[in-house]
Amino acid sequence: MAGTDRSRPDVVLDRNPVVVLVRPQLGENIGMVARAMMNCGLGELRLVEPRDGWPNEASAAPASGALPILQAAKLYNSVTAALEDCHKVYVTTARQREMIKQIMTPKAAVRQLRQQIADGMKTALVFGPERTGLESDEVALADTVIEVPLNPSFSSLNLAQAVLVIGYEWYQSGDDTPEDRREVGHTPPADHGEIDAFFERLVDELDTVNFFWPEHKRQAMLRNLRSLVNRLEPTQQDVRTLHGIVSALIEARQRRKGMKKG
């Protein structure tokens, strides 16, 4: 997906959950996590014992411009140290564990996160290492486990994708973009008077060649055609275009006849 509008303001990055990566292996993945975080308006990254040390040059290119997040990332030597100032901790895992935990879908989890943040709490989303995931003792630190409902026979997400899915739900829960809208560009929608006028003209032209035949089917044909025209939901420009098409089709035949005569 391409395109970023740099004229629009940054979202506010504070008062959002902290992202904690526990023992991440590849610098590339840390960079991709930063990119996904930036996509989703998450700004604070904490790294617990990254395998290849920190900073890690391999993270820069995959971050695709999310460098401020990498530059501000903080390094910790234990999970408990990274979570010390957090009131509520969420871990993501697809594993079934013998532990009594609140388990939520991403959708439900972000609703709860919003409420906790509104109540003044600091929150954290914790992600384990590639492949192995979090240790049971680390899962035990969490207040809530997030399980992403996915194909049960193929549910494993890579690190950046797991961050993206949770971050995406987080962003959606705070966003008020209309779910469904029509982009009409510069011309306003046609009103029923304009649509009626076009429809009547079209019917007049079609009547000259007895298009609506046989007579007993005329009303039904008119209704279906009217319904079809309505479904266009045309703009004023569209109605002008439709008039032009009717004129042009008529002229096309005239021209062709003329050529045959000539």
CB of 199 to its own copies, least distance (A): 12
CB of 202 to its own copies, least distance (A): 7
CB of 51 to its own copies, least distance (A): 16
For CA atoms 211, 215, 220, 222, the dihedral sign is: positive
Between the CA of residue 205 and those of 188, 199, 210, 257, what are the distances in Å? 27, 10, 9, 18
Cβ contacts of 175 within 8 Å, gap of 6 or more? none
Q: Of 100 and 118, which CB lies nearer to its own copies in the complex structure? A: 100
Task: Check if the beta carbon of residue 160 is closer than 8 Å to that of residue 22.
Answer: no
CB of 7 to its own copies, least distance (A): 9
What's the rounded Cα separation, in Å, for the pair 171 and 12?
11
User: What are the tokens at 179?
Assistant: 């779910």
Q: Of 50 and 167, which CB lies nearer to its own copies in the complex structure? A: 167
Q: Of 81 and 230, which CB lies nearer to its own copies in the complex structure? A: 230
Q: Of 63 and 82, which CB lies nearer to its own copies in the complex structure? A: 63
Cβ contacts of 74 within 8 Å, gap of 6 or more? 45, 46, 47
Q: Of 77 and 208, which CB lies nearer to its own copies in the complex structure? A: 208
Task: Check if the beta carbon of residue 45 is closer than 8 Å to that of residue 21.
Answer: yes
What's the rounded Cα separation, in Å, for the pair 189 and 157?
44
Task: Check if the beta carbon of residue 111 is closer than 8 Å to that of residue 56.
Answer: no
Task: Check if the beta carbon of residue 95 is closer than 8 Å to that of residue 114.
Answer: no
CB of 194 to its own copies, least distance (A): 15
Q: Of 82 and 145, which CB lies nearer to its own copies in the complex structure? A: 145
Q: Of 81 and 254, which CB lies nearer to its own copies in the complex structure? A: 254
What's the rounded Cα separation, in Å, for the pair 49 and 79?
9
Cβ contacts of 154 within 8 Å, gap of 6 or more? none
CB of 31 to its own copies, least distance (A): 11
CB of 46 to its own copies, least distance (A): 18
